[in-house]
Amino acid sequence: MDERFIAKRFPICKRCLQKMVEQRKTDKDEPNETKESVRSVLKLLDLPYLNDVYENCMKGAADGVKEKNRRSPFATYIVMMKSLPQYNGLHWEHSEFEEEYYDFESEDEVNENSRIYKQGKKRFGKGYSPQDIIFLESEYQDWIKRYACENKA
């Protein structure tokens, strides 16, 4: 949690965060949880958005649990992020989005940027936005074409 907050507590209660995600003004409104609303709250909380994990939470919420006892996908996601050790220490900058989120234009550009993104992610690791990874990998490829590189240094 961010050091800006007194006693390392987030200044918004769980119910209000849930209302923000569900885009409710009052308790009587119908919930409308979207990926965009989840992302905006996770960014506020400085927690990562991992698309595959969130998709699994959405599938789990849809599986035959009684309506009254069912947790929202967001609530399930938060529990996983806070309790499972593999997500310990991850922040918003570690987010992994679905491929459509990257705003590629043509199909050729999608294929090229997807290839560059995969290479760059392997080379530079997590912690960068998709645009940053594509930029870094493109610059790296340009660099090694212009100069002889016999080793990593």
Question: Which pLDDT score is estimated for 107?
Answer: 61
Low-confidence ranges of the chain (pLDDT < 50): 1, 104
Token couple for 40: 């905006």
Question: Which pLDDT score is estimated for 147?
Answer: 79
How far apart CA 100 and CA 120 sit, in angstroms, is 18
How far apart CA 130 and CA 118 sit, in angstroms, is 10
- DSSP H helices, the chain, are 14-22, 35-45, 51-62, 73-83, 107-124, 130-146
Ordered by start, the domain boundaries in the chain are 6-93, 98-146
Question: Which pLDDT score is estimated for 28?
Answer: 84
Question: Which pLDDT score is estimated for 109?
Answer: 65
Which residue, 72, 81, 10, 19, is CA-closest to 50? Answer: 81
In the chain the first and final C-alpha atoms are separated, in Å, by 36
Question: Which pLDDT score is estimated for 4?
Answer: 56
How far apart CA 120 and CA 140 sit, in angstroms, is 9
